[in-house]
C-alpha cells in the first residue's frame, strides 16, 4: 500500500507516541477529502497490529492489514440501506477492492460504486450495534484491536451516542481511529474525547507524483480538475481509458471552431465508440466543462492547463456563465439519447452545435 507523502512527520509522531505507551485510545484523523487521512489510518492500524510492533509492512499482521483482512481490524464506513444485514458486512468486499485499488478513496467515488446518485450514504444504528457486539468479544489474536471508522460524520444521529459510549469507556488494548473530512458534523462530546491529528493537504507535486506514467496532458487535466482530491483523480484516471482526454480535447476544439465538415467528421468518430465508452466520454465532458466554468468564475490560476492538444485555459474562458446552463442541458439530453440508443449521431451533432453556440455566448 501507498506511503504517505506529505504526512510522514505525522506518522512518525504517532509511532513515537505508541512506542512511549502514550498513544490515546481514540484518535481523530482530520483530512481533506481524497487526501491522506485514509492511508494514514491504515498505516496506524499496521503499527497497532504489527507482529513486531513497528508497522514493518512485511510481517503477517501488516500484510493482513494491507489486504484489509486482519481479524482484529474492524472497519466501519458509510453504506446505503437495503443490504441483507443492514451493516457494512454487506459491502465489505466492495470496500476492500475499492480501497486497495485507490487508497485515497473519496466519498463520491465510493458512492458511485455502491449507490445511485440520490441515495444517501450513512453509518446506520445497526452498524454501531454490530461493532459493539464485535468489541464485546475478546481479540481474535489476543493482542491489540482496531476500530477504524471512515467518515464518522455520516453516523446516523441516533447512533452517535452509542459511538460516544464506546469512546468514553475504553476497552483494553482497543484503539479507535476516526477519519473525518468534516469535524463540524461531529458531536462536540466526541471531539473533546479524541486526540486530534491534522493531515496537511497534498501539494501539486505530491499529487502528480502519483501518476508518473501519465502524459503531461493527462496530468494537467487531473490536477486542474481534482487537486488536491487525489482519490477522485485516481478514480477518474482509471476511467480515462482509450486516451479519452485526447478525444475530448479534439471534440471540444471542433465545437469551438464550429466548422460543419469537421463537426461531421468528429461525430462519426464519436459514434463509432462503444455505448459505454461514449456515455463515459459525454459525462466526463460535462464534468470537465462544469469545472471549466468554475475556474472561469472563480478566476483560479489555470497555468497548469496549457495543453498541447486543446488550450483548456482558452476553453474555460469560453465557458461563460450564460453558456453553462446550455452546456449542461445539451450534454444531459445527449446522455439520455445515448442511454436509450436513439438517434445517437443526430444527437451528437445537435449537441456539438449547441456547444458551439454556448462557447460563443450566443
Ligand atoms: Zn509488521
Ligand 1 center from residue 59 Cα (angstroms) = 4
CATH 3.40.50.300 residue spans of the chain: 8-201
Per-residue pLDDT, 207: 87
Ligand 1 center from residue 124 Cα (angstroms) = 33
Say if residues 194 and 164 touch (Cβ distance below 8 Å): no
DSSP state of 361: T
Higher confidence at residue 282 or residue 198? Answer: 198
CATH code of the region 8-201: 3.40.50.300
Ligand 1 center from residue 64 Cα (angstroms) = 9
Ligand 1 center from residue 69 Cα (angstroms) = 14
- Helix (H) or strand (E) holding 316, with range, is helix 312-318
DSSP state of 193: T
Q: What is the pLDDT of residues 91-107, one digit of tens each?
A: 999 999 999 999 999 98
Ligand 1 center from residue 58 Cα (angstroms) = 5
Ligand 1 center from residue 67 Cα (angstroms) = 13
Q: What is the mean pLDDT of residues 180-186?
A: 92
Ligand 1 center from residue 63 Cα (angstroms) = 7
Confidence of residue 3 (pLDDT cuts 50, 70, 90): low
The pTM (predicted TM-score) of the whole model is 0.75
First to last CA, the chain: 50
Max CA distance (Å), the chain = 73
Distances (CA, A) of 14 to 146, 151, 311: 15, 20, 45
Would the pLDDT of 352 be above 70? yes
Written as one string, the DSSP assignment of 220-272 is HHHHHHHTT-HHHHHHHHHH--TTHHHHHHHHHHHHHH--HHHHHHHHHHHHT
Ligand 1 center from residue 1 Cα (angstroms) = 13
Determine the 3-state secondary structure of 77 from DSSP. coil
Q: What is the mean pLDDT of residues 149-168?
A: 91
Ligand 1 center from residue 147 Cα (angstroms) = 18
Distances (CA, A) of 204 to 209, 211, 228: 8, 11, 7
> Residues 216, 221, 227, 233: what is their CA dihedral angle, to the nearest 10 degrees?
-100
Ligand 1 center from residue 219 Cα (angstroms) = 34
Q: What is the mean pLDDT of residues 297-305?
A: 36
Say if residues 88 and 79 touch (Cβ distance below 8 Å): yes
Say if residues 46 and 65 touch (Cβ distance below 8 Å): yes
Say if residues 5 and 206 touch (Cβ distance below 8 Å): yes
Ligand 1 center from residue 47 Cα (angstroms) = 7
Ligand 1 center from residue 211 Cα (angstroms) = 27
Ion ligand 1 neighbours (CB, 5 A) are: 50, 56, 59, 62
Q: What is the pLDDT of residues 103-140, one digit of tens each?
A: 999 988 898 788 875 678 899 999 999 999 999 888 88
Ligand 1 center from residue 329 Cα (angstroms) = 53
Per-residue pLDDT, 153: 94
Ligand 1 center from residue 208 Cα (angstroms) = 29
Ligand 1 center from residue 21 Cα (angstroms) = 18
Ligand 1 center from residue 353 Cα (angstroms) = 59
Would the pLDDT of 275 be above 50? yes
Say if residues 279 and 338 touch (Cβ distance below 8 Å): yes
Confidence of residue 272 (pLDDT cuts 50, 70, 90): confident
Q: What is the pLDDT of residues 212-238, one digit of tens each?
A: 888 776 787 777 667 788 998 888 787
Ligand 1 center from residue 282 Cα (angstroms) = 45
Say if residues 39 and 1 touch (Cβ distance below 8 Å): yes
d(CA 349, CA 360): 17
Per-residue pLDDT, 201: 87
Written as one string, the DSSP assignment of 106-150 is -HHHHHHHHS-TTPPPBB-HHHHHHHHHHHHSPPTTSS-EEEEEE
- Strands 26-30 and 145-150, by their bridges, are unpaired
Q: Mean pLDDT lowest for which of 44-48, 133-137, 317-321?
A: 317-321
Mean pLDDT, the chain, as a whole number? 84
Determine the 3-state secondary structure of 58 from DSSP. coil
Amino acid at each position: 500500500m501507498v506511503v504517505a507523502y506529505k504526512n510522514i512527520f505525522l506518522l512518525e509522531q504517532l509511532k513515537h507516541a505508541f512506542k512511549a505507551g502514550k498513544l490515546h485510545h481514540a484518535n481523530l484523523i482530520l483530512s481533506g477529502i481524497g487526501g491522506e487521512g485514509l492511508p494514514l489510518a491504515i498505516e496506524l492500524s499496521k503499527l497497532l497490529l504489527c507482529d513486531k510492533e513497528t508497522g514493518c509492512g512485511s510481517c503477517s499482521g501488516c500484510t493482513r492489514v494491507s489486504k484489509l483482512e486482519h481479524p482484529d481490524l474492524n472497519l466501519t464506513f458509510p453504506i446505503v440501506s437495503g443490504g441483507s444485514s443492514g451493516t457494512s458486512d454487506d459491502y465489505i468486499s466492495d470496500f476492500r477492492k475499492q480501497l486497495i485499488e485507490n487508497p485515497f478513496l473519496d466519498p463520491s467515488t465510493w458512492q458511485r460504486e455502491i449507490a445511485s446518485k440520490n441515495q444517501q450514504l450513512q453509518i446506520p444504528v445497526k452498524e454501531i450495534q454490530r461493532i459493539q457486539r464485535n468489541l464485546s468479544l475478546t481479540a481474535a489474536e489476543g493482542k491489540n484491536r482496531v476500530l477504524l471508522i471512515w467518515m464518522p460524520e455520516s453516523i446516523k444521529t441516533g447512533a452517535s451516542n452509542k459511538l460516544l459510549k464506546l469512546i468514553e469507556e475504553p476497552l483494553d488494548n482497543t484503539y479507535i481511529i476516526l477519519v473525518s473530512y468534516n469535524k463540524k458534523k461531529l458531536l462536540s462530546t466526541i471531539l473533546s474525547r479524541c486526540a486530534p491529528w491534522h493531515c496537511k493537504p497534498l501539494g501539486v507535486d505530491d499529487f502528480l507524483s502519483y501518476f508518473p506514467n501519465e502524459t503531461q496532458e493527462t496530468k494537467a487535466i487531473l490536477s486542474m480538475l481534482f487537486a488536491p482530491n487525489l482519490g477522485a483523480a485516481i478514480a477518474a484516471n482509471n476511467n480515462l481509458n482509450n486516451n479519452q482526454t485526447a478525444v475530448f480535447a479534439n471534440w471540444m476544439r471542433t465545437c469551438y471552431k464550429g466548422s460543419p465538415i469537421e463537426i461531421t467528421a468528429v461525430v462519426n468518430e464519436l459514434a463509432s465508440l462503444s455505448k459505454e465508452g461514449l456515455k463515459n466520454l459525454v459525462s466526463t465532458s460535462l464534468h470537465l466543462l462544469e469545472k471549466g466554468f468554475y475556474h472561469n468564475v472563480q478566476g483560479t490560476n489555470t497555468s497548469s492547463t496549457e495543453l498541447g492538444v486543446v488550450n483548456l485555459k482558452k476553453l474555460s474562458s469560453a465557458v461563460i456563465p450564460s453558456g453553462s446552463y446550455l452546456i449542461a442541458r445539451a450534454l444531459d439530453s445527449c446522455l439520455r439519447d445515448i442511454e436509450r440508443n436513439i438517434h445517437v449521431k443526430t444527437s451528437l451533432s445537435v449537441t456539438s452545435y449547441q456547444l458551439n453556440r454556448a462557447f460563443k455566448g450566443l
